[in-house]
Structure 1
Amino acid sequence: MSVRMPSNFGRSGAQESALDLLGHEILAEKAAALGRTGQRVEETLKKLRENSDSEQRTRLLKEAAAAVHAYFIQRELCGLRRHESVIREYDIPRAVLVRLGAS
């Protein structure tokens, strides 16, 4: 499917301006989504650290791994490909990273 600018944008300058506004809107939404997924990572890791029950721990590890995975994907969509600093900053446990396939 292709998207075409409306024909009422007569000049190319107006078209460029509209596309620029759309680009800013997309970037703002990407940043907001990155913030939301980062907050979810913080929440799930906090629950994981606070709980020592082995039955709950398995479920919490799964939730934390899903949240971290979503965060890594969102970072990559924003053009941020390296995750080492984030792993250190959030202090993501090795048990969570192993569930993501890290060795």
Structure 2
Amino acid sequence: MSLRPPSHLAGASAAEAAFDALGHEILAEKAAALGRAGQRVEETLARLRDNADEQLRPLLLKDAAEAVHGYFIQRELCGLRKHDAVIREYNIPKAVLARLGAK
């Protein structure tokens, strides 16, 4: 009995096949990192919305802005350049966006 390699690897050398596997691994890690960054945005925004203490607000705004900034950077690393939809989806407050330099 003989085995054939998958059709997408039939013409590829071993080095190309290994690079393709590495490329898939990198894409999977980018997606996982994007998910973790999104989770952090959700958590920091929830703390900001749920806390009524005015003395804590600047710290919570700073944490939320850092989380959103990291999320935007991770999105851009994944090739996603426009953030309008996620700003609406996460309902990111203007006070957080202002800390990022957005209008």
TM over 0.5: yes
1:18 is matched with which residue?
Answer: 18
* Gap regions ≥5 residues in structure 1: 1-11
Provide the alpha-carbon RMSD of the alignment: 1.2
**1:31-46 alignment to 2 at 5 Å?**
31-46=31-46
User: Equivalent residue of 1:54, what SS?
Assistant: coil
Q: Cα deviations across residues 27-85 of structure 1 (Å, max 9, x unaligned)?
A: 00000000000000000000000001111111000000000000000000000000000
CA distance in 2, matches of 1:102, 1:79: 20
Identity fraction in percent:
72
CA distance in 1, matches of 2:52, 2:58: 10
* Gap regions ≥5 residues in structure 2: 1-11
- What is the aligned residue count? 93
CA distance in 1, matches of 2:30, 2:15: 23
Q: Displaced runs of 4+ in structure 1, greater than 2 A?
A: none
Work out whether 1:61 is the aligned partner of 2:46: no
Using structure 1 for the length normalisation, give the TM-score: 0.88
Q: CA deviation at 1:25?
A: 0.3
